[in-house]
Structure 1
Amino acid sequence: MFDITLIMLGAGNSTRMQMPTKKQWLYIDDEPLWLYATKNLGKFYTFKEIIIVSNEGDYMSRFAPNYIYVKGGATRQESLKNALSHVKSEYVLVSDIARANIPHELLHKIIQNSDKADCIVPVLNVVDTTYYQNETIEREKIKLIQTPQLSRTKILSKALQSDTLYTDDSSAIRAVGGSIWQIQGDERARKITTYDDLFKISLLPPSKEQFVGTGFDVHEFAKGYDLWLCGEKIEYENGLKAHSDGDVALHALTDAILGAAGLGDIGEHFPDNDPSYKGANSLTLLKTAYEKVQSVGFELVNADITIMAEQPKISKFKAKMQNNIAAALNVMPNRINVKATTTEKLGFVGRKEGIAVIATAGIKYYDWTKK
């Protein structure tokens, strides 16, 4: 058995998918695509190590702590160089997370031919008539390059030191005089690049599982501050003391949504010792946090907020509050519920010293089958 490290590249932003969720975080049943694709290759061969290149490595490590996570770069080449600095094996197999269903036969063929050249690359023939700038060209001379590609680690590392940007490993290795061996590729190793590609390979739809998060926050009343609740400015003798705009209800809701996705809390994402968040609009913070939750594969089911205050009375503002939140999260207002209560004059809330809020949010996997 050859000494091979597997590198899975997945640091892109998936802009061509035109979805709120990055393609590497689309759920296949109950697994994100990046994990599904990695496990698919991992079950066919015992790799020395598996390296995932991503900008969400800390979060990913909660799904598969035994992998190595490396931060991606601005380009594929930079991302691969970052990963190669961790490779200790003679060979490295580089694949794209977006190639989710690489068949066993293809991987076996690649490894079987490892002694033929410095880089083993699967290719597909072009079967349709092909034009280049309005002129037909010989399609027999055109090859479509796929991954995974198996390379000798030292020569690939050397090849990537160039200032020239290469879109695959074989091009870089060829440029430094390395040898390339082409094998027949496989249509099943199709790369997911656009939304329609999701339906050209066999993938299970996301599980219908749901998740719940809770958030709790308090702020004290103080002179010289405005009072904001659920994005609504309320006239009152005092405002809520805070580093941002003090919208205690939105802070609790942001925590609930982040918590449901396992993404920590509002303080981790928007620390109160960061000057850039001084006086920040909490609706903007909520929207930013939700976009992060969406990017890793989730969408909101509903949110329920309970505001605990003796004063001011907010019943007449509830509809506006619900609409403010719904607009920020791009959901229908019926998904948002705002309630108000007192504490029967007990505690700091009862003494009118501040406001407390508890929020609950339900989320589910983003359903990419119904874009």
Structure 2
Amino acid sequence: MSTGVVIVAAGRGERAGSPERGPKQYRLIGGQPVLRRTLEAFLNWPDSGPIVTVIHPDDQAQFSESIRDLPGAERVLSVMGGATRQESVLRGLRALGTAGPHHVMIHDAARPFVDRSLLQAIAVRLHEGHDAVLPAVAIADTLKRSSADGLVEATVSRDRLFAAQTPQSFHYEKILEAHEKAAASGRSDFTDDASIAEWAGMPVLLVPGSAQNVKLTTAQDIAMADAKFTGNSLPDVRTGNGYDVHQLVPGDGVTLCGVFIPHDLKLHGHSDADVALHALTDALLATCGAGDIGDHFPPSDPQWKGAASRIFLAHAAEIVRAKGGIITNADISLIAEVPKIAPHRDTMRSTLAEILGISVDRCSVKATTNEKIGFIGRKEGIAAIATATVIYGELQR
């Protein structure tokens, strides 16, 4: 099924400052216009189809210059935008219609860091049959509502609140119909395409966005983006370690890395006592200074009695992502005489990948015995050591 793309590039970008330098989508980052960088991301994604770029009538020369010698530029069509973003998107959707796409991704020109993994994740959900897919990141900052005089009026709960990103992606004919109805009704106040889909009664599926997929709004944003491309920054790679141990007692089996292994012993603990996931939870929390597992899930709290430890790990991963982190690797070493780990290693790795939302090749599970030495050697317990690697954007030199 073909996926068309509409790039919205008709804005003026007043908040970016220095109007004499032109709209922000044509400012240079790493020696290339922002718009060109954005187009490259979609042209390099193998599943993208025709691309319509909606531009301002005054920007035709700048647009032509920005895509000069761009590989794949023959797939890029430009149309003139309207007075509002909503009108510009509608014009882009209409222009895309001649190509007959099944799906469409609508993206802000000022988001040049959209990557292939996000595009692919969105495409998967579209192909599963969802008519509207919205990438979004959970709100991490405390929210305040102010009064007219600038004083804090209230603190707003951030529970289940998300910041919307693009590309917002849809079944092409359905979002075109929704846009046409909105225009016919006289509505012109929608701030994004997902809100039009909601208004038209289309269920909108949230998928995890990317902390790197930022929208360049201010002059500082553009300067930081330029630094990323010119090498004036270093990746902020952080590594966290975790350790846990639980006693073995008579029972019917142990749970390790979220996988139940039948055995005549079990691990004793308040939850399911999964030492592997407990250690990895601590390792993830360590990458952003978020305490340890006991701070978030105290064993004195009865609600966690017998709880599956995957809940703890998923919560830690959510905290990491809310702080802008991208989990790149998870490594667990189990120290145990029993049970045998090797027959279950692949299932364990798959379970870790599922919980963390990363690929299996980024998940490692290893096991060793304690050579019959100490409490582990006497089969009195199992220990786990975990290491997590997370990238939190970049550090300025």
Given that 2:9 and 2:55 are in contact with CA atoms closer than 8 Å, whether structure 1 keeps it comes out as: yes
Alignment correspondent of 1:181: 205
Residues 167 and 45 of structure 1, relative CA distance in 2, 3 Å threshold: farther
**TM-score, with normalisation over the residues of structure 2?**
0.49
Alignment correspondent of 1:204: 229
Residue 79 of structure 1: how far off its partner (Å): 0.5
Residue 200 of structure 1: how far off its partner (Å): 4.4
| Distance in 1 separating the partners of 2:170 and 2:228 | 29
| Distance in 1 separating the partners of 2:29 and 2:158 | 36
| Distance in 2 separating the partners of 1:146 and 1:102 | 10
| Distance in 2 separating the partners of 1:194 and 1:72 | 22
Matched residue of 1:204: which SS? helix
**TM-score, with normalisation over the residues of structure 1?**
0.52
Given that 1:160 and 1:172 are in contact with CA atoms closer than 8 Å, whether structure 2 keeps it comes out as: yes
2:24 maps to 1:11: no
Given that 1:116 and 1:181 are in contact with CA atoms closer than 8 Å, whether structure 2 keeps it comes out as: no
Residue 203 of structure 1: how far off its partner (Å): 3.5
**Aligned residue runs from structure 1 range 43-58, under 5 A:** 43-55=44-56, 56-57=59-60
User: For residue 93 of structure 1, what is the amino acid of its counterpart?
Assistant: M
| Distance in 2 separating the partners of 1:76 and 1:132 | 26
| Distance in 1 separating the partners of 2:48 and 2:64 | 18
Structure 1 stretches (4+) deviating beyond 6 angstroms? Answer: none
Given that 2:26 and 2:62 are in contact with CA atoms closer than 8 Å, whether structure 1 keeps it comes out as: no
Cα RMSD, aligned residues only: 1.9
Residue 59 of structure 1: how far off its partner (Å): 4.8
2:143 maps to 1:130: yes
**Aligned residue runs from structure 1 range 99-248, under 5 A:** 99-114=111-126, 115-133=128-146, 134-161=153-180, 162=182, 163-164=186-187, 165-201=189-225, 203-205=228-230
Matched residue of 1:24: which SS? helix
| Distance in 1 separating the partners of 2:129 and 2:159 | 23
Residues 93 and 184 of structure 1, relative CA distance in 2, 3 Å threshold: same
| Distance in 2 separating the partners of 1:119 and 1:203 | 32
Aligned residues: 205
Residue 12 of structure 1: how far off its partner (Å): 0.7
**Aligned residue runs from structure 1 range 1-371, under 5 A:** 2-19=1-18, 20-21=20-21, 22-55=23-56, 56-57=59-60, 59-61=62-64, 63=68, 64=70, 65-66=73-74, 67-87=76-96, 88-114=100-126, 115-133=128-146, 134-161=153-180, 162=182, 163-164=186-187, 165-201=189-225, 203-205=228-230
User: For residue 110 of structure 1, what is the amino acid of its counterpart?
Assistant: I
| Distance in 2 separating the partners of 1:135 and 1:29 | 42
Q: Structure 1: which 5+ residue stretches go unaligned? A: 207-371
Q: Structure 2: which 5+ residue stretches go unaligned? A: 147-152, 232-397
Given that 2:38 and 2:110 are in contact with CA atoms closer than 8 Å, whether structure 1 keeps it comes out as: yes
| Distance in 1 separating the partners of 2:36 and 2:145 | 38
| Distance in 2 separating the partners of 1:78 and 1:34 | 20
Residue 127 of structure 1: how far off its partner (Å): 1.4
User: For residue 130 of structure 1, what is the amino acid of its counterpart?
Assistant: L
Q: Percent identity, please.
A: 23
Residue 193 of structure 1: how far off its partner (Å): 0.7
Matched residue of 1:37: which SS? helix
User: For residue 89 of structure 1, what is the amino acid of its counterpart?
Assistant: P
| Distance in 1 separating the partners of 2:30 and 2:143 | 38
